[in-house]
Amino acid sequence: MAALRINDLEEILIEYNRLDGCGDILHGYRFLFNKKNVINPEIINDKFKDGLFIVSDCEFDNCRVISFFEQIIESNSSLQYENIEPPVVHIQCRAWNELKDYRISKWRNAKHPDGTIKYKEGFVESMFEFWEKDVELIFSLDSGFTDNQGSNSNISLHYNTNTDVIRKFVNELKSEFKDFKCNNREQHIQNSM
C-alpha cells in the first residue's frame, strides 16, 4: 500500500484491494494518525469499521486517482476528483493558484504588536518558491460510508502538504498499481469475459 505521509504522525494510505465482477480494480483509503484510524468507528457503516474505505474507480489499465495526483504535480493548480460509483470519496486540491492571493495578503499585512510592518520589502516574494509547492488536500467521505446513509452529510479531513511529498507518493502508488495488475491479470481476464 502506498502512503501519502503528511508528517511523522499523519498519513493517508491507498491500497489496491481486489477485483470486482467486471475485472475492474477496487481500491481503498485509510486515514491514520500515529498508525491508528482517525475516523470514529462508531459512526461508520459496519462494512467499513476497519477503517478501510473501499471504492470502485480503477479500470484494469488506468487508475484515475493516480492521474489526479499527477495533474496536481504537473499543473500546480486546484483540482477535484471523485470516484463515479457510490460510496464516494471526493478529493479537493487547493494549490498555489488558489492560495496565492490569501497567503501574500496575510504576510504583507502582518504587523508587530506595536503596529510596525513585520516583514521587510522583498521577504514575501522570496518565499514564493517554497509556497508554490504547497497544497491543501481535503478528503471527503460521503454518507454511504456512515450509519447515516442517504443523508447529505460528509466526513472531511484536511491536510497540508506539498508537491514534493505528492511526487514521492505517486511513484509509490504507480509501483503498487503495476504490481497489483501483474499479480491479478489472469483473474481480470476471467472476470471481464
Nine-digit cell string for 72: 496536481
Instruction: For 61-76, write each residue's pLDDT tens digit.
Output: 899 999 999 999 999 8
When pLDDT is averaged across residues 125-129 and rounded to a whole number, the result is 84
When pLDDT is averaged across residues 116-123 and rounded to a whole number, the result is 84
When pLDDT is averaged across residues 51-68 and rounded to a whole number, the result is 91
Question: What is the pLDDT confidence band of residue 83, given thresholds at 50, 70 and 90?
Answer: very high
Residues 6+ apart with CB under 8 A from 136: 93, 94, 99, 158, 159, 160, 161
When pLDDT is averaged across residues 41-65 and rounded to a whole number, the result is 91
Question: What is the pLDDT confidence band of residue 97, given thresholds at 50, 70 and 90?
Answer: confident
Direct distance between the N- and C-terminal alpha carbons of the chain, in angstroms, rounded to an integer: 28
More confident residue, 12 or 1: 12
Nine-digit cell string for 13: 494510505
Residues 6+ apart with CB under 8 A from 173: 2, 14, 63, 65, 66, 69
Contact 58, 66 (CB under 8 A): no
- pLDDT of res. 88: 93
- pLDDT of res. 109: 85
Question: What is the pLDDT confidence band of residue 117, given thresholds at 50, 70 and 90?
Answer: confident
Per the prediction, the chain carries an average pLDDT of 91
Question: What is the pLDDT confidence band of residue 87, given thresholds at 50, 70 and 90?
Answer: very high
- pLDDT of res. 55: 94
- pLDDT of res. 126: 86
Question: What is the pLDDT confidence band of residue 36, given thresholds at 50, 70 and 90?
Answer: very high
- pLDDT of res. 192: 79
Instruction: For 157-185, write each residue's pLDDT tens digit.
Output: 999 999 999 999 999 999 999 999 999 99
